[in-house]
Amino acid sequence: MPVDNSKYILLLITSSFKNPQKIKDILLHAQFKILEAQDEKEAALIAQHTPPDMILLDIDKSAKENVSLLEKFKKNKITCTFPVLLIASKNNESHIPECLVYDQVDFIIKPFRPQELLIRIQHQLSFLNAERVIRRQNEKLKQTIEARDKLYAIIAHDLRAPIGTIKMVNASIESQKERIKDPGILKLFEMVNETTEEAFNLLENLLRWTRNQNGKTKVYASSFNIIPIIRQVISLFTSIANAKEIRLNNHTTGQYYIYADEDMIKTVLRNLISNAIKFTYAGGQIDVSLQETKDDIKVSITDNGKGIPKKMQAYLLKANQYISTHGTHNEKGSGLGLILCRDFIKMNKGKLTFTSQEGVGTSFHFTVPKSIESR
C-alpha cells in the first residue's frame, strides 16, 4: 500500500548535516512535514509537543559525536521509540554495526539518489504504520477482554446471592430429609442439591478466575492447621457423594501446619474433591490423604473413577488450556476449576500434579510449604 508522505512528520537533526537544506528540499518536495532540532535535548522538547514519525541523523559530519547522539536518543524516554534513519558515507560504514544494536534503526550510504532516500524512508514508515495498526488492534482486544471479564464478574456476583439462598434452603431440607416419604421426590431433591452445588462452585470459580485474569488476586498467607480445613471441605460434599453412592474417606488426622492462603487452599480442595465426585461411578470411593516431607505437606485426592483419557493428560495443566469432559452422570464442567487449582497452588509456592489411568481412576496431588514452626 503506497505511503501518503503528507501524513508523516520527519525530524531533522540539522547540526549533524553539512548541508541540511539540500536534504530538507528533497523531503519537502516529496510533501513530508519537516521539523528541525539542533541536538537531542531540543529534539526531545519538540517531540513532547509534536511527536515525529522518524528522525534523520547524518553521522558523516562527526561520526563519534553523532553515534553518541543516537545513543542519547535511544536512552531518552521521550525519543527512544522513534525510528531513526542514519545517513553515512562509505568512510564511516564501520560505525553502522554499533548503531544497529538499537531497535528501529536503519541506514543509507552516500552517495544516494533522492528517490533512493525516499524509498528507504517510505519502507520504514510502512513498518511503522503496520506496528501502529497492530498496537491499536492489541489495545482494542485488551479492552474487549477487560469488558468480557468485567461482564463475567458482574454475572457471577449477581447470581451468587440467589444460588446461595437456594443452598440454604437445600440445607434446611437436607436436615429433615427423612420426612420425605416419596422416593421420586427424594431423588429429585438430591439432583437439585447436586446441581445447585455445582452451579455455586462454577460461580465461585468464575469470580476468582476473573479476578486472577485482571491481576487483582493477592495471596494472604498465614500459618494454619490444614486438617480442620480438609474436614470442613469434605463435610460440604458428603451429601452429594452419598446421593451418588460414593464413599468419601478422610484419612487425615493430627496437626499439620502449613504457610499458605487459607481461602485459596479451600478453593483447591473444593475443586479437586468436586471433580473426583463428578468422575467417580456409583459405588466407588474417594480417598483424601496427606504426607509430610521435610519442607512440604502433600495432599492427595484419589478416586477409582473413569480416569482421564491419555490424549488429554498432556494438556490438562498447561497454561491457557481449558479442558472439560462430562462426568459419570453426564455432569458438565467449565474447565476453570483445575486452572484455578494450578494457579493458586503455584501462587502459594507449591506444585499440582496428577496420575491417571482410564477405567482405573485418578490421583491429584498438591504440595504446600510447611509453616516455619512445623519444620
Distances (CA, A) of 308 to 61, 160, 267, 270, 317: 70, 30, 21, 19, 12
CA distance 196 to 190: 10
One digit per residue, pLDDT tens: the chain, 375 residues? 577 889 999 988 888 888 889 889 999 999 999 999 887 788 888 888 888 898 888 877 666 776 777 788 788 787 788 888 888 877 777 777 877 778 888 888 888 899 998 988 888 888 888 888 898 999 888 888 777 777 766 666 667 667 777 777 777 787 787 788 888 887 788 778 777 877 777 777 666 766 666 666 788 899 999 999 999 989 888 888 888 899 999 999 999 999 999 988 988 998 899 889 989 999 999 999 999 988 999 999 999 999 988 888 887 777 555 556 666 666 655 567 888 889 899 999 999 999 999 999 999 999 999 987 665
What single string gives the DSSP state of each residue in 167-224? HHHHHHHHHTGGG---HHHHHHHHHHHHHHHHHHHHHHHHHHHHHHHTT-----EEEE
Tell which residue, 366, 169, 183, 196, has the closest CA to residue 267. Answer: 366
Lookup: cell for 193: 442439591
CA distance 277 to 191: 14
In one-letter notation, the amino acid at residue 5 is N
* 301 strand-pairing partners: 288, 364
Domains of the chain with CATH codes: 5-112 (3.40.50.2300), 225-375 (3.30.565.10)
Which helix (H) or strand (E) element contains residue 305? none
